[in-house]
Structure 1
Amino acid sequence: MQVQKMREEYSKLNRMEMSIWECCELLNEVVDDSDPDLDEPQIQHLLQSAEAVRKDYPNEDWLHLTALIHDLGKVLLLPKFGGLPQWAVVGDTFPLGCAFDEANIHHKYFKENPDYNNPSYNTKNGIYWDGCGLDNVTISWGHDDYMYLVAKENGTTLPSAGLFIIRYHSLYPLHTEEAYMQFLNDEDKENLKWLRIFNKYDLYSKSKVAVDVEKVKPYYLSLIEKYFPAKLKW
Protein backbone atom coordinates (compact mmCIF):
# COMPACT_ATOMS: atom_id res chain seq x y z
CA MET A 1 0.00 0.00 0.00
CA GLN A 2 1.15 3.51 -0.80
CA VAL A 3 0.58 4.68 2.78
CA GLN A 4 2.81 1.95 4.16
CA LYS A 5 5.51 2.91 1.65
CA MET A 6 5.35 6.52 2.81
CA ARG A 7 5.53 5.52 6.46
CA GLU A 8 8.47 3.26 5.74
CA GLU A 9 10.29 5.97 3.80
CA TYR A 10 9.73 8.75 6.31
CA SER A 11 10.37 6.51 9.31
CA LYS A 12 14.02 6.55 8.27
CA LEU A 13 14.21 10.11 9.67
CA ASN A 14 17.18 10.81 7.44
CA ARG A 15 16.23 14.22 6.06
CA MET A 16 17.87 16.50 8.61
CA GLU A 17 18.50 17.16 12.29
CA MET A 18 17.02 20.16 14.04
CA SER A 19 15.30 21.22 17.22
CA ILE A 20 11.55 21.59 17.64
CA TRP A 21 11.86 25.38 17.71
CA GLU A 22 13.97 25.40 14.56
CA CYS A 23 11.19 23.45 12.88
CA CYS A 24 8.62 25.98 14.10
CA GLU A 25 10.64 28.70 12.37
CA LEU A 26 11.11 26.56 9.26
CA LEU A 27 7.35 26.15 9.03
CA ASN A 28 7.07 29.83 8.12
CA GLU A 29 8.29 28.81 4.66
CA VAL A 30 5.24 26.59 4.24
CA VAL A 31 2.03 27.67 2.52
CA ASP A 32 -0.95 25.47 3.33
CA ASP A 33 -3.53 25.99 0.57
CA SER A 34 -6.25 24.51 2.79
CA ASP A 35 -5.68 27.15 5.47
CA PRO A 36 -8.03 30.16 5.23
CA ASP A 37 -5.51 32.38 7.03
CA LEU A 38 -2.80 32.43 4.39
CA ASP A 39 -1.70 35.92 5.35
CA GLU A 40 -0.58 34.68 8.77
CA PRO A 41 2.84 33.07 9.22
CA GLN A 42 2.42 29.45 10.30
CA ILE A 43 4.21 30.10 13.59
CA GLN A 44 1.48 32.59 14.50
CA HIS A 45 -1.19 29.92 14.13
CA LEU A 46 0.86 27.53 16.26
CA LEU A 47 1.43 30.09 18.99
CA GLN A 48 -2.15 31.38 18.92
CA SER A 49 -3.42 27.83 19.40
CA ALA A 50 -0.89 27.13 22.14
CA GLU A 51 -1.51 30.39 24.00
CA ALA A 52 -5.28 29.91 23.89
CA VAL A 53 -4.90 26.42 25.36
CA ARG A 54 -2.45 27.73 27.96
CA LYS A 55 -4.94 30.35 29.08
CA ASP A 56 -7.78 27.87 29.61
CA TYR A 57 -5.73 24.85 30.79
CA PRO A 58 -2.79 26.43 32.64
CA ASN A 59 -1.76 23.21 34.39
CA GLU A 60 -1.62 21.01 31.27
CA ASP A 61 1.76 22.06 29.94
CA TRP A 62 1.91 19.00 27.66
CA LEU A 63 -1.20 20.30 25.90
CA HIS A 64 0.38 23.72 25.38
CA LEU A 65 3.35 22.07 23.68
CA THR A 66 1.15 19.70 21.69
CA ALA A 67 -0.74 22.71 20.32
CA LEU A 68 2.55 24.34 19.36
CA ILE A 69 3.91 21.36 17.44
CA HIS A 70 0.79 19.68 16.04
CA ASP A 71 1.27 21.03 12.50
CA LEU A 72 5.05 20.74 12.20
CA GLY A 73 4.63 17.78 9.87
CA LYS A 74 3.65 20.27 7.16
CA VAL A 75 7.36 20.64 6.45
CA LEU A 76 6.71 17.69 4.11
CA LEU A 77 5.69 20.37 1.59
CA LEU A 78 9.25 21.74 1.50
CA PRO A 79 11.76 20.46 -1.09
CA LYS A 80 14.24 19.18 1.50
CA PHE A 81 11.49 16.93 2.88
CA GLY A 82 10.44 15.59 -0.48
CA GLY A 83 8.25 18.48 -1.63
CA LEU A 84 5.10 16.40 -1.40
CA PRO A 85 1.96 17.79 -3.06
CA GLN A 86 -0.64 19.54 -0.92
CA TRP A 87 -3.13 16.67 -1.21
CA ALA A 88 -0.60 14.28 0.33
CA VAL A 89 0.19 16.51 3.31
CA VAL A 90 -2.77 18.64 4.40
CA GLY A 91 -6.53 18.23 4.54
CA ASP A 92 -8.67 15.62 6.26
CA THR A 93 -7.41 12.09 6.82
CA PHE A 94 -9.43 8.87 6.74
CA PRO A 95 -9.02 5.15 7.49
CA LEU A 96 -8.09 2.66 4.78
CA GLY A 97 -8.98 -1.02 4.73
CA CYS A 98 -12.65 -0.50 5.55
CA ALA A 99 -15.66 1.18 3.95
CA PHE A 100 -15.30 4.92 3.32
CA ASP A 101 -17.80 6.45 5.70
CA GLU A 102 -20.11 9.13 4.31
CA ALA A 103 -18.74 11.46 6.98
CA ASN A 104 -15.56 11.79 4.89
CA ILE A 105 -15.40 15.10 3.08
CA HIS A 106 -16.10 14.83 -0.68
CA HIS A 107 -17.33 11.31 -0.06
CA LYS A 108 -18.70 10.93 -3.60
CA TYR A 109 -15.18 10.93 -5.02
CA PHE A 110 -14.18 7.85 -3.06
CA LYS A 111 -16.03 5.82 -5.70
CA GLU A 112 -12.96 6.40 -7.88
CA ASN A 113 -10.78 4.61 -5.32
CA PRO A 114 -10.13 0.95 -6.23
CA ASP A 115 -10.73 -0.02 -2.58
CA TYR A 116 -14.33 1.17 -2.90
CA ASN A 117 -15.38 -2.02 -4.70
CA ASN A 118 -12.93 -4.38 -3.01
CA PRO A 119 -15.00 -6.84 -0.93
CA SER A 120 -12.16 -7.17 1.58
CA TYR A 121 -12.28 -3.45 2.30
CA ASN A 122 -15.79 -2.18 1.61
CA THR A 123 -17.62 -3.46 4.69
CA LYS A 124 -18.02 -1.33 7.80
CA ASN A 125 -15.13 -2.98 9.65
CA GLY A 126 -13.22 -4.22 6.61
CA ILE A 127 -9.99 -5.86 7.76
CA TYR A 128 -10.41 -4.58 11.34
CA TRP A 129 -12.58 -5.49 14.31
CA ASP A 130 -14.51 -3.68 17.02
CA GLY A 131 -12.21 -2.23 19.66
CA CYS A 132 -9.03 -3.05 17.72
CA GLY A 133 -7.53 0.34 18.59
CA LEU A 134 -6.71 3.15 16.17
CA ASP A 135 -3.06 2.17 16.40
CA ASN A 136 -3.98 -0.92 14.36
CA VAL A 137 -5.92 1.05 11.73
CA THR A 138 -4.11 2.38 8.67
CA ILE A 139 -4.89 6.08 8.19
CA SER A 140 -4.21 8.04 5.01
CA TRP A 141 -0.78 9.65 4.95
CA GLY A 142 -0.34 13.29 5.88
CA HIS A 143 1.40 15.76 8.16
CA ASP A 144 -0.26 14.24 11.25
CA ASP A 145 1.34 10.83 10.87
CA TYR A 146 4.73 12.25 9.96
CA MET A 147 4.93 14.42 13.08
CA TYR A 148 3.73 11.49 15.16
CA LEU A 149 6.57 9.37 13.76
CA VAL A 150 9.11 12.12 14.45
CA ALA A 151 7.94 12.59 18.03
CA LYS A 152 7.69 8.89 18.83
CA GLU A 153 10.95 7.80 17.23
CA ASN A 154 12.87 10.64 18.87
CA GLY A 155 11.68 9.50 22.29
CA THR A 156 9.28 12.25 23.32
CA THR A 157 7.89 11.99 26.83
CA LEU A 158 4.57 13.59 25.88
CA PRO A 159 1.65 11.59 27.30
CA SER A 160 -0.30 9.33 24.97
CA ALA A 161 -3.04 11.96 24.66
CA GLY A 162 -0.51 14.37 23.17
CA LEU A 163 0.64 11.83 20.60
CA PHE A 164 -2.98 10.96 19.85
CA ILE A 165 -3.77 14.63 19.14
CA ILE A 166 -0.76 14.97 16.85
CA ARG A 167 -1.58 11.79 14.97
CA TYR A 168 -5.34 12.20 14.54
CA HIS A 169 -6.17 15.92 14.59
CA SER A 170 -6.99 15.79 10.86
CA LEU A 171 -9.21 12.72 11.25
CA TYR A 172 -12.32 14.89 11.25
CA PRO A 173 -14.76 12.07 10.41
CA LEU A 174 -13.90 10.58 13.79
CA HIS A 175 -13.69 13.53 16.14
CA THR A 176 -16.40 15.70 14.64
CA GLU A 177 -18.82 13.19 13.05
CA GLU A 178 -18.23 10.14 15.30
CA ALA A 179 -17.50 7.90 12.33
CA TYR A 180 -15.26 4.86 12.85
CA MET A 181 -15.91 4.92 16.60
CA GLN A 182 -16.19 1.12 16.61
CA PHE A 183 -12.41 0.84 16.24
CA LEU A 184 -11.55 2.76 19.40
CA ASN A 185 -10.20 0.94 22.43
CA ASP A 186 -10.49 2.30 25.97
CA GLU A 187 -7.30 4.37 25.76
CA ASP A 188 -8.42 5.86 22.44
CA LYS A 189 -11.73 6.89 23.99
CA GLU A 190 -9.96 8.72 26.81
CA ASN A 191 -7.56 10.40 24.40
CA LEU A 192 -10.42 11.41 22.10
CA LYS A 193 -11.76 13.63 24.88
CA TRP A 194 -8.53 15.62 24.78
CA LEU A 195 -8.52 15.73 20.98
CA ARG A 196 -11.98 17.27 21.01
CA ILE A 197 -10.84 19.87 23.53
CA PHE A 198 -7.80 20.64 21.41
CA ASN A 199 -9.82 20.87 18.21
CA LYS A 200 -11.65 23.95 19.46
CA TYR A 201 -8.34 25.77 19.75
CA ASP A 202 -6.95 24.44 16.49
CA LEU A 203 -9.82 25.79 14.44
CA TYR A 204 -11.00 28.83 16.31
CA SER A 205 -8.01 30.32 18.11
CA LYS A 206 -6.72 32.33 15.19
CA SER A 207 -7.02 36.00 15.99
CA LYS A 208 -5.95 39.28 14.50
CA VAL A 209 -3.77 39.95 17.54
CA ALA A 210 -0.33 38.61 16.81
CA VAL A 211 1.50 36.72 19.54
CA ASP A 212 4.78 38.33 20.62
CA VAL A 213 7.07 35.47 19.66
CA GLU A 214 10.11 36.61 21.64
CA LYS A 215 8.01 37.13 24.76
CA VAL A 216 6.58 33.60 24.86
CA LYS A 217 9.56 31.81 23.33
CA PRO A 218 11.35 31.10 26.66
CA TYR A 219 8.27 29.33 28.03
CA TYR A 220 7.91 27.06 25.02
CA LEU A 221 11.64 26.37 24.90
CA SER A 222 11.37 25.13 28.49
CA LEU A 223 8.55 22.77 27.49
CA ILE A 224 10.49 21.52 24.49
CA GLU A 225 13.44 20.79 26.78
CA LYS A 226 11.12 18.95 29.17
CA TYR A 227 9.48 16.69 26.59
CA PHE A 228 11.99 16.39 23.72
CA PRO A 229 15.71 15.94 23.09
CA ALA A 230 17.67 19.04 22.04
CA LYS A 231 17.98 17.84 18.45
CA LEU A 232 15.60 15.55 16.60
CA LYS A 233 16.02 13.48 13.48
CA TRP A 234 13.45 14.38 10.84
Structure 2
Amino acid sequence: MSEKGPISLLDASQLLRPEPAFADKPVAAFRDYSVDDQDPVKKRVKDTYYAMHGNVTVEFVKQKRAKWLQFNHFKSTIKDALIRLNSLVDESDPDSELPNIVHAFQTAERIRLDHPEDDWFHLTGLIHDLGKVMAFYGEPQWCVVGDTFPVGCRWADSIVYGQDSFKDNPDTYNPKYNSLYGMYSPRCGLDALLVSWGHDEYLYQVLKHNGATLPEKALYMIRYHSLYPWHSGGDYRHLTNEKDEEILKWVLEFNKYDLYTKSAEVPNIEALWPYYEALIDKYIPGELEW
Protein backbone atom coordinates (compact mmCIF):
# COMPACT_ATOMS: atom_id res chain seq x y z
CA MET A 1 0.00 0.00 0.00
CA SER A 2 1.43 3.35 -1.02
CA GLU A 3 1.02 6.24 1.39
CA LYS A 4 -0.83 7.93 -1.47
CA GLY A 5 -3.38 5.11 -1.58
CA PRO A 6 -3.79 1.69 -3.19
CA ILE A 7 -2.31 1.58 -6.67
CA SER A 8 -3.22 -1.77 -8.18
CA LEU A 9 -6.82 -0.94 -9.10
CA LEU A 10 -6.38 2.80 -9.28
CA ASP A 11 -3.67 4.38 -11.38
CA ALA A 12 0.09 3.92 -11.29
CA SER A 13 0.50 7.53 -12.40
CA GLN A 14 -0.19 8.61 -8.81
CA LEU A 15 3.39 7.62 -8.06
CA LEU A 16 4.79 10.08 -10.59
CA ARG A 17 2.41 13.02 -10.76
CA PRO A 18 3.10 15.95 -8.44
CA GLU A 19 0.68 16.41 -5.59
CA PRO A 20 -0.41 20.04 -5.93
CA ALA A 21 -1.53 22.09 -2.99
CA PHE A 22 -4.62 23.19 -4.87
CA ALA A 23 -6.20 19.74 -5.10
CA ASP A 24 -9.49 19.83 -3.22
CA LYS A 25 -9.46 16.08 -2.54
CA PRO A 26 -6.67 13.52 -1.94
CA VAL A 27 -4.59 12.48 -4.93
CA ALA A 28 -5.68 8.85 -4.52
CA ALA A 29 -9.30 9.94 -5.00
CA PHE A 30 -8.62 11.10 -8.57
CA ARG A 31 -8.67 8.70 -11.53
CA ASP A 32 -10.20 5.87 -9.52
CA TYR A 33 -10.62 3.02 -12.02
CA SER A 34 -11.55 0.37 -9.48
CA VAL A 35 -14.25 -1.98 -10.74
CA ASP A 36 -17.72 -1.76 -9.25
CA ASP A 37 -20.54 -2.59 -11.64
CA GLN A 38 -23.09 -1.53 -9.02
CA ASP A 39 -21.77 2.04 -9.19
CA PRO A 40 -23.21 3.65 -12.36
CA VAL A 41 -20.25 6.02 -12.85
CA LYS A 42 -17.63 3.30 -12.39
CA LYS A 43 -19.56 0.99 -14.71
CA ARG A 44 -19.88 3.70 -17.37
CA VAL A 45 -16.16 4.44 -17.22
CA LYS A 46 -15.21 0.75 -17.39
CA ASP A 47 -17.57 0.08 -20.30
CA THR A 48 -16.12 3.05 -22.21
CA TYR A 49 -12.56 1.81 -21.79
CA TYR A 50 -13.34 -1.81 -22.58
CA ALA A 51 -15.03 -0.72 -25.81
CA MET A 52 -12.00 1.42 -26.64
CA HIS A 53 -9.45 -1.26 -25.85
CA GLY A 54 -11.38 -3.91 -27.74
CA ASN A 55 -11.76 -1.90 -30.92
CA VAL A 56 -8.77 0.40 -31.32
CA THR A 57 -6.36 -1.42 -33.64
CA VAL A 58 -3.63 -0.18 -35.97
CA GLU A 59 -6.05 -0.37 -38.88
CA PHE A 60 -8.78 1.45 -36.94
CA VAL A 61 -6.45 4.34 -36.12
CA LYS A 62 -5.37 4.63 -39.75
CA GLN A 63 -9.00 4.75 -40.83
CA LYS A 64 -9.86 7.50 -38.34
CA ARG A 65 -6.86 9.56 -39.37
CA ALA A 66 -7.84 9.23 -43.02
CA LYS A 67 -11.39 10.32 -42.18
CA TRP A 68 -10.75 13.23 -39.83
CA LEU A 69 -7.53 14.71 -41.17
CA GLN A 70 -9.24 15.86 -44.33
CA PHE A 71 -10.66 18.71 -42.21
CA ASN A 72 -13.88 18.73 -44.18
CA HIS A 73 -16.46 17.97 -41.49
CA PHE A 74 -17.48 21.46 -40.39
CA LYS A 75 -16.26 25.03 -39.93
CA SER A 76 -16.31 26.78 -36.58
CA THR A 77 -14.55 29.37 -34.48
CA ILE A 78 -12.82 28.19 -31.33
CA LYS A 79 -15.46 29.92 -29.18
CA ASP A 80 -18.38 28.24 -30.93
CA ALA A 81 -16.68 24.86 -30.65
CA LEU A 82 -16.14 25.44 -26.93
CA ILE A 83 -19.80 26.34 -26.45
CA ARG A 84 -20.74 22.99 -27.96
CA LEU A 85 -18.92 21.29 -25.07
CA ASN A 86 -21.80 22.48 -22.88
CA SER A 87 -23.59 19.40 -24.22
CA LEU A 88 -20.83 16.88 -23.54
CA VAL A 89 -20.12 14.93 -20.35
CA ASP A 90 -17.03 12.76 -20.74
CA GLU A 91 -18.06 9.11 -20.29
CA SER A 92 -14.49 8.07 -19.48
CA ASP A 93 -14.00 10.55 -16.63
CA PRO A 94 -14.50 9.22 -13.07
CA ASP A 95 -13.85 12.65 -11.55
CA SER A 96 -16.48 14.94 -13.05
CA GLU A 97 -20.11 14.85 -14.11
CA LEU A 98 -20.05 18.47 -15.28
CA PRO A 99 -20.15 19.54 -18.94
CA ASN A 100 -16.70 19.66 -20.52
CA ILE A 101 -16.76 23.43 -20.96
CA VAL A 102 -16.73 23.82 -17.16
CA HIS A 103 -13.58 21.70 -16.95
CA ALA A 104 -12.05 23.83 -19.72
CA PHE A 105 -12.49 27.04 -17.73
CA GLN A 106 -11.45 25.42 -14.44
CA THR A 107 -8.19 24.32 -16.04
CA ALA A 108 -7.52 27.63 -17.77
CA GLU A 109 -8.23 29.75 -14.71
CA ARG A 110 -5.95 27.75 -12.44
CA ILE A 111 -3.13 28.00 -14.98
CA ARG A 112 -3.79 31.74 -15.23
CA LEU A 113 -3.44 32.07 -11.46
CA ASP A 114 -0.09 30.26 -11.32
CA HIS A 115 1.33 31.49 -14.66
CA PRO A 116 -0.10 35.01 -15.04
CA GLU A 117 2.35 36.09 -17.76
CA ASP A 118 1.90 33.07 -20.05
CA ASP A 119 -1.30 33.89 -21.90
CA TRP A 120 -0.64 31.09 -24.43
CA PHE A 121 -0.73 28.65 -21.50
CA HIS A 122 -4.10 30.01 -20.33
CA LEU A 123 -5.55 29.44 -23.80
CA THR A 124 -4.01 25.96 -24.00
CA GLY A 125 -5.84 25.03 -20.81
CA LEU A 126 -9.10 26.35 -22.21
CA ILE A 127 -8.99 24.49 -25.53
CA HIS A 128 -7.14 21.28 -24.67
CA ASP A 129 -10.23 19.05 -24.89
CA LEU A 130 -11.80 20.67 -27.95
CA GLY A 131 -11.12 17.60 -30.09
CA LYS A 132 -14.05 15.99 -28.29
CA VAL A 133 -16.35 17.77 -30.75
CA MET A 134 -15.96 14.60 -32.84
CA ALA A 135 -18.60 13.10 -30.56
CA PHE A 136 -21.16 15.40 -32.21
CA TYR A 137 -20.35 13.98 -35.65
CA GLY A 138 -21.13 10.32 -35.28
CA GLU A 139 -18.15 9.09 -33.29
CA PRO A 140 -18.79 7.03 -30.14
CA GLN A 141 -17.12 8.48 -27.08
CA TRP A 142 -14.79 5.49 -26.75
CA CYS A 143 -12.81 6.71 -29.78
CA VAL A 144 -12.93 10.37 -28.73
CA VAL A 145 -12.31 10.61 -24.97
CA GLY A 146 -10.10 8.92 -22.40
CA ASP A 147 -6.45 7.99 -22.03
CA THR A 148 -4.48 7.26 -25.18
CA PHE A 149 -1.78 4.66 -25.85
CA PRO A 150 0.43 3.58 -28.76
CA VAL A 151 -0.94 0.92 -31.07
CA GLY A 152 1.30 -1.43 -33.02
CA CYS A 153 3.30 -2.70 -30.05
CA ARG A 154 2.67 -4.56 -26.78
CA TRP A 155 0.03 -2.99 -24.52
CA ALA A 156 1.66 -1.39 -21.47
CA ASP A 157 0.77 -2.66 -18.02
CA SER A 158 -0.01 0.88 -16.82
CA ILE A 159 -2.92 1.31 -19.26
CA VAL A 160 -6.11 1.59 -17.22
CA TYR A 161 -7.93 -1.73 -16.64
CA GLY A 162 -4.85 -3.66 -17.73
CA GLN A 163 -4.33 -6.47 -20.18
CA ASP A 164 -7.74 -8.05 -19.66
CA SER A 165 -9.41 -5.06 -21.31
CA PHE A 166 -7.60 -5.88 -24.58
CA LYS A 167 -8.72 -9.50 -24.79
CA ASP A 168 -11.13 -8.75 -27.66
CA ASN A 169 -8.63 -6.68 -29.64
CA PRO A 170 -7.22 -8.63 -32.61
CA ASP A 171 -3.89 -6.79 -32.42
CA THR A 172 -3.34 -8.49 -29.06
CA TYR A 173 -2.74 -11.73 -30.95
CA ASN A 174 -0.94 -10.33 -34.01
CA PRO A 175 2.83 -11.07 -33.86
CA LYS A 176 3.52 -7.95 -35.94
CA TYR A 177 2.16 -5.80 -33.12
CA ASN A 178 2.33 -7.67 -29.80
CA SER A 179 6.07 -7.59 -29.13
CA LEU A 180 7.94 -4.99 -27.07
CA TYR A 181 8.84 -2.88 -30.12
CA GLY A 182 6.15 -4.13 -32.50
CA MET A 183 6.26 -2.09 -35.69
CA TYR A 184 8.65 0.51 -34.22
CA SER A 185 12.40 0.82 -33.73
CA PRO A 186 14.25 1.60 -30.48
CA ARG A 187 14.21 5.28 -29.48
CA CYS A 188 12.22 6.25 -32.57
CA GLY A 189 10.47 9.06 -30.68
CA LEU A 190 6.87 9.92 -29.88
CA ASP A 191 6.30 11.59 -33.22
CA ALA A 192 6.95 8.25 -34.95
CA LEU A 193 4.33 6.40 -32.91
CA LEU A 194 0.79 5.72 -34.04
CA VAL A 195 -1.23 6.63 -30.97
CA SER A 196 -4.81 5.52 -30.38
CA TRP A 197 -7.21 7.93 -32.04
CA GLY A 198 -8.79 10.53 -29.80
CA HIS A 199 -9.35 14.19 -29.04
CA ASP A 200 -5.66 14.97 -28.37
CA GLU A 201 -4.32 14.08 -31.79
CA TYR A 202 -7.33 15.51 -33.58
CA LEU A 203 -7.08 18.95 -31.97
CA TYR A 204 -3.31 19.02 -32.46
CA GLN A 205 -3.79 18.36 -36.16
CA VAL A 206 -6.64 20.90 -36.44
CA LEU A 207 -4.45 23.60 -34.91
CA LYS A 208 -1.53 22.78 -37.20
CA HIS A 209 -3.79 22.70 -40.26
CA ASN A 210 -5.33 26.08 -39.43
CA GLY A 211 -2.05 27.86 -38.69
CA ALA A 212 -2.44 28.42 -34.96
CA THR A 213 0.47 30.44 -33.56
CA LEU A 214 0.62 28.81 -30.14
CA PRO A 215 4.20 27.84 -29.17
CA GLU A 216 5.40 24.32 -29.89
CA LYS A 217 5.24 23.30 -26.24
CA ALA A 218 1.55 24.21 -26.16
CA LEU A 219 0.87 21.98 -29.16
CA TYR A 220 2.68 19.08 -27.51
CA MET A 221 0.79 19.61 -24.25
CA ILE A 222 -2.41 19.21 -26.27
CA ARG A 223 -1.14 16.28 -28.34
CA TYR A 224 0.06 14.12 -25.45
CA HIS A 225 -1.90 15.19 -22.38
CA SER A 226 -3.94 11.96 -22.41
CA LEU A 227 -0.95 9.66 -23.03
CA TYR A 228 -0.90 8.64 -19.35
CA PRO A 229 0.97 5.32 -19.83
CA TRP A 230 3.91 7.38 -21.10
CA HIS A 231 3.91 10.62 -19.14
CA SER A 232 2.75 9.20 -15.82
CA GLY A 233 2.89 5.40 -16.01
CA GLY A 234 6.57 5.37 -16.98
CA ASP A 235 6.06 3.06 -19.97
CA TYR A 236 7.30 3.30 -23.58
CA ARG A 237 10.65 4.80 -22.57
CA HIS A 238 12.30 2.28 -24.92
CA LEU A 239 10.59 4.14 -27.78
CA THR A 240 11.12 7.76 -26.73
CA ASN A 241 14.12 10.00 -27.43
CA GLU A 242 15.80 13.12 -26.04
CA LYS A 243 13.24 15.49 -27.55
CA ASP A 244 10.49 13.58 -25.76
CA GLU A 245 12.18 14.13 -22.40
CA GLU A 246 11.77 17.87 -22.92
CA ILE A 247 8.17 17.40 -24.04
CA LEU A 248 7.55 15.35 -20.89
CA LYS A 249 8.34 18.36 -18.69
CA TRP A 250 5.75 20.47 -20.50
CA VAL A 251 3.09 17.76 -20.43
CA LEU A 252 3.53 17.08 -16.71
CA GLU A 253 3.29 20.78 -15.93
CA PHE A 254 0.06 20.97 -17.90
CA ASN A 255 -1.46 17.79 -16.51
CA LYS A 256 -1.46 18.83 -12.90
CA TYR A 257 -3.92 21.54 -13.93
CA ASP A 258 -5.92 19.31 -16.25
CA LEU A 259 -6.46 16.69 -13.55
CA TYR A 260 -6.50 18.35 -10.17
CA THR A 261 -8.70 21.36 -10.95
CA LYS A 262 -11.85 19.25 -11.36
CA SER A 263 -14.32 20.25 -8.69
CA ALA A 264 -17.96 21.14 -8.16
CA GLU A 265 -17.13 24.85 -8.22
CA VAL A 266 -18.24 26.36 -11.53
CA PRO A 267 -16.43 29.50 -12.74
CA ASN A 268 -18.35 32.51 -14.01
CA ILE A 269 -17.95 31.62 -17.66
CA GLU A 270 -19.80 34.61 -19.10
CA ALA A 271 -17.60 37.02 -17.17
CA LEU A 272 -14.45 35.25 -18.38
CA TRP A 273 -15.28 35.15 -22.09
CA PRO A 274 -13.88 38.61 -23.03
CA TYR A 275 -10.41 37.72 -21.74
CA TYR A 276 -10.31 34.39 -23.55
CA GLU A 277 -11.86 35.74 -26.75
CA ALA A 278 -8.94 38.14 -26.96
CA LEU A 279 -6.51 35.21 -26.66
CA ILE A 280 -8.38 33.28 -29.33
CA ASP A 281 -8.12 36.26 -31.65
CA LYS A 282 -4.41 36.50 -30.90
CA TYR A 283 -3.44 32.86 -31.44
CA ILE A 284 -6.25 31.07 -33.34
CA PRO A 285 -8.43 33.69 -35.03
CA GLY A 286 -11.38 33.25 -37.33
CA GLU A 287 -13.32 30.26 -38.56
CA LEU A 288 -11.35 27.02 -38.59
CA GLU A 289 -11.67 23.94 -40.79
CA TRP A 290 -12.39 20.87 -38.67
State the alpha-carbon separation in 2 of the partners of residues 117 and 57 from structure 1.
Answer: 46
State the alpha-carbon separation in 2 of the partners of residues 227 and 2 from structure 1.
Answer: 32
Residue 193 of structure 1: CA displacement?
0.7
Counterpart code for 1:96: V
- Equivalent residue, structure 1, for 2:6: none
State the alpha-carbon separation in 1 of the partners of residues 285 and 185 from structure 2.
Answer: 37
- Equivalent residue, structure 1, for 2:148: 93
State the alpha-carbon separation in 1 of the partners of residues 70 and 273 from structure 2.
Answer: 30
Structure 1 residue 199 corresponds to structure 2 residue 258:
no
Structure 1 residue 18 corresponds to structure 2 residue 18:
no
What is the Cα-based RMSD across aligned positions, in Å? 1.4
Larger proportion of helix: 1
Match of 1:34 among 66, 69, 92: 92
Match of 1:48 among 80, 83, 106: 106
Aligned runs of 1:56-205 on 2, under 5 Å? 56-78=114-136, 81=137, 83-107=138-162, 108-205=164-261
State the alpha-carbon separation in 1 of the partners of residues 283 and 246 from structure 2.
Answer: 21
Q: Deviations over 1:9-59 (max 9, x none)?
A: 111111211111111101111122223322x23221101100001111122
- Partner of 2:86: helix, strand, or coil? helix
**TM-score for both structures, normalised by structure 1:** 0.93
State the alpha-carbon separation in 1 of the partners of residues 262 and 225 from structure 2.
Answer: 16
The answer to whether the 8 A contact 2:78-2:280 is kept is yes
State the alpha-carbon separation in 2 of the partners of residues 25 and 18 from structure 1.
Answer: 11
State the alpha-carbon separation in 2 of the partners of residues 6 and 229 from structure 1.
Answer: 26
- Partner of 2:262: helix, strand, or coil? coil
Residue 207 of structure 1: CA displacement?
3.0
Q: Once the two structures are aligned, what percentage of the paired residues are identical? A: 48
Gaps of 5+ in 2: 1-58
- Equivalent residue, structure 1, for 2:5: none
Counterpart code for 1:114: P
Residue 205 of structure 1: CA displacement?
0.6
- Partner of 2:254: helix, strand, or coil? helix
State the alpha-carbon separation in 2 of the partners of residues 21 and 9 from structure 1.
Answer: 24
Residue 117 of structure 1: CA displacement?
2.4
Number of residues of Structure 1 aligned to a counterpart in Structure 2:
230
Residue 176 of structure 1: CA displacement?
1.1
Q: Deviations over 1:102-150 (max 9, x none)?
A: 1111222223322222222222111112221211100111111111121
**TM-score for both structures, normalised by structure 2:** 0.75
State the alpha-carbon separation in 1 of the partners of residues 228 and 151 from structure 2.
Answer: 14
Counterpart code for 1:103: S
Residue 187 of structure 1: CA displacement?
2.3
Q: Deviations over 1:68-114 (max 9, x none)?
A: 10111111111xx2x21121111111101111111111222223322
Counterpart code for 1:188: D
The answer to whether the 8 A contact 2:132-2:144 is kept is yes
- Equivalent residue, structure 2, for 1:229: 285
